Amino acid sequence: METTELNLLKSLAKQYPTISSACTEIINLQSILNLPKGTEHFMTDIHGAYEQFDHILRNGSGSVKRKINEEFGNSMIEREKKSLATLIYYPKEKLDLIRQEEDNLEDWYKITLHRLVQITKRASSKYTRSKVRKALPKDFAYIIEELITEKAELLDKEAYYNEIIHTIIRLGRAPEFIIALSNLIQRLIVDHLHIIGDIFDRGPDPDIIMDTLCDYHSVDVQWGNHDIVWMGAAAGEAACICNVIRIASRYGNLSTLEEGYGINLVPLVSFALETYTGVNCDTFGIKYDAGYNVRDLEIDQKIHKAITILQFKLEGQIIKAHPEFQMEERMLLHRINYETGCVTVEGKDYPMCDLEFPTIDPADPYALTEEEEELICRLQKSFRMSEKLQRHVRFLFAKGGLYKVFNSNLLYHGCVPMDENGEFLTMRLGEKEYAGRKLFDMLEHYARRGYYAPEGSQERALGCTMMWYLWTGEKSPIFGKHKMATFERYFIKEEETHIERKNAYYRRLDDEETINRILREFDLSPESSHIINGHVPVEAKKGESPVHCGGKLFIIDGGFSKAYQGKTGIAGYTLVSNSYGLRLVAHEPFESKEDAIRSETDVVSDVVVVETQSARLRVADTDIGAEIQVRIGELEELLRAYRDGILVEAEA
């Protein structure tokens, strides 16, 4: 036996010091391989819409209702099923209503507790007892374990189980126990959550979504362009900071920065008031909702214009310093002709809607004024000092990346940049060229260095710049358009300039050769794998489908954000993968949490089974199963070493 192999076995022997302990673990792992595959839940493009996100997370995209139907079938009427489902989603709030309305509360508790125990048993049936035990709430762990391991054939224990429930009610602990069971069911319904990008921007509550994800039991995140711009801002990249503030001001969400993340915007407010008082800011309208305080409208428009001009200046500086980005056409400030009132875009002159720019020097339009320099320094410090923002961004780096290969699924937010012939686009950086998977890997490497490399180092500076490029660059796999037409949308009425032409990837979604090539690029089998991404809203009301290439590719951005729902006609897609196959779920617009609780409304409008397994998938068929099989092989080697006398068992 080679020295390296022997050293590995010695290390393993510390954990399993006897033949008995090694055999016990092999038996345990082998049995786990035969359990049903856990349920995976895919969500994307949440865009700060916390209430809808939270509701879909609680109902598992209809998974809770499916469990109720499987368990009770026709033995419960539909109204009772809806009420039980709502109780599981929002146990505390629903209990408050029930206690006000129910005449015989003790009987209701008794019936409800029995039903919740049955659903908990069904939801936990695909897991090992050890895994379920780890998920149990501490206060009721022993009691729940006793109830959900009840065997129907043990009739002599019926009185024992009934007495447990009776005593829970008699001691006044029924509400707490119902809440504990409901939360446990939510926890067990979904084994793993995939977020395929764009948690931030447009909606008001990305910080609350991030808090939820940080506490979630099992999750990964594929970065979207709206995530990476916040990550760049947290790293102190000035152009990213301006983009974050601009979008927040545009959607009336500056409170997300001030109250959610503790970002000090007072210097920006002061600058905007001093510099833009008396300046026309009508072009910089605010897209606000019912919760917006219209008294802030005038100052928010000034902030909006001030930070946008700063953004264009800083982006121009980046583009000039990095000709390898090939973005010179996006430098537009020096293309403004103040005499004619026009700007040249892609070789054509267009009238400008606004020419009042008190901080722009036509002779040097990308230079910052002293006041702007000071403002940027203060904003950088505030973003860097936000403990909550830094915690959330560290979570995104720890749990995320530009792509993930998981259980034969390739997950990424946007696209694999390619030309019209399906050839992967090449990006040159220094002496090297990157395309396909190598482009993803290179860009992710620099993004991580932009946050973690030493302060003041060239590596950190380049990494920060690459995060900005990921946000808006043509060859960015999470942007995937020929330009971001921010300037044109503010200043030019002609809509032809507003068009952001999508990468050729989106015109080849149903080309099997292209999709197969992408899957092979990421070491996946085209015969049994899928691509799942978001980024581009699917316009369901125009008949667009999220399913492409015969079910090999899914685009599940259906408009979580209200800003998109008029365009898409729905309020988002989610995907559920369980041991039986794949289900695509379309969601109705979410009115409010209060309406969901009181009226027992849900947001699942349509469920399509897009793939069914001929045989139920087991843990053995998953990536975790492959890891377990490797572990079993190592343990069997350890057993042979014990039995051959190469290693000696520890004394009992």
Q: SS3 sequence, 469-535? A: HHHHCCCCCCCCECCCCHHHHHHCCCHHHHCCCECHHHHCCCCHHHHHHHHHHCCCCCCCCEEEECC
Of 141-150, 168-177, 195-204, least confident by mean pLDDT is 141-150
If phi over 0 gives left and psi between -120 and 50 gives alpha, with beta otherwise, what is residue 176?
alpha
The pLDDT of residue 205 is 93
The pLDDT of residue 414 is 95
Cβ count within 10 A of residue 620: 16
The pLDDT of residue 295 is 85
Segment 529-540 shows an average pLDDT of 85
Whole-number Cα distances in Å, 202 to 244, 256, 273, 586, 613: 10, 10, 24, 21, 38
Of 102-111, 242-251, 374-383, least confident by mean pLDDT is 102-111
Is pLDDT of 223 > 80?
yes
Alpha-carbon gap, residue 149 to 141, rounded angstroms: 12
The pLDDT of residue 296 is 85
Could you report the per-residue pLDDT of 437-470, keeping only the tens digit for each? 999 999 999 999 999 999 999 999 999 999 999 9
Whole-number Cα distances in Å, 61 to 194, 310, 582, 612: 13, 42, 12, 18
pLDDT class for 146, splitting at 50, 70, 90? confident
The pLDDT of residue 541 is 63
The pLDDT of residue 209 is 97
Could you report the per-residue pLDDT of 568-599, keeping only the tens digit for each? 556 778 899 988 889 888 887 777 788 888 88
Segment 486-508 shows an average pLDDT of 96
DSSP 413: S
Q: Nearest Cα to 300, choosing from 268, 260, 264?
A: 268
Is pLDDT of 562 > 70?
no
The pLDDT of residue 322 is 96
Is pLDDT of 257 > 90?
yes
pLDDT class for 227, splitting at 50, 70, 90? very high
pLDDT class for 419, splitting at 50, 70, 90? very high
DSSP 127: S
Could you report the per-residue pLDDT of 63-74, keeping only the tens digit for each? 999 999 999 988
Question: Which stretches within 347-477 are classed as H helix?
Answer: 370-385, 387-399, 437-452, 458-472
pLDDT class for 346, splitting at 50, 70, 90? very high
The pLDDT of residue 568 is 58
Segment 474-498 shows an average pLDDT of 96
Domain spans of the chain, in order of start: 3-35+635-643, 40-195+537-617, 223-389+426-488
Helix 91-101 and helix 78-89: axis angle, to 10°?
Answer: 130
Could you report the per-residue pLDDT of 18-56, keeping only the tens digit for each? 999 999 999 999 999 999 999 999 999 999 999 889 999
Which of 159 and 72 is assigned the larger pLDDT? 72
Whole-number Cα distances in Å, 599 to 82, 83, 466, 602: 10, 9, 48, 9
Q: What angle do CA 213, 217, 221 make, to 5 degrees?
A: 45
Is pLDDT of 369 > 90?
yes
Alpha-carbon gap, residue 467 to 462, rounded angstroms: 9
Alpha-carbon gap, residue 61 to 55, rounded angstroms: 9
pLDDT class for 484, splitting at 50, 70, 90? very high
Segment 234-241 shows an average pLDDT of 98
pLDDT class for 291, splitting at 50, 70, 90? confident
Is pLDDT of 613 > 80?
no
Q: What angle do CA 175, 180, 183 make, to 5 degrees?
A: 125
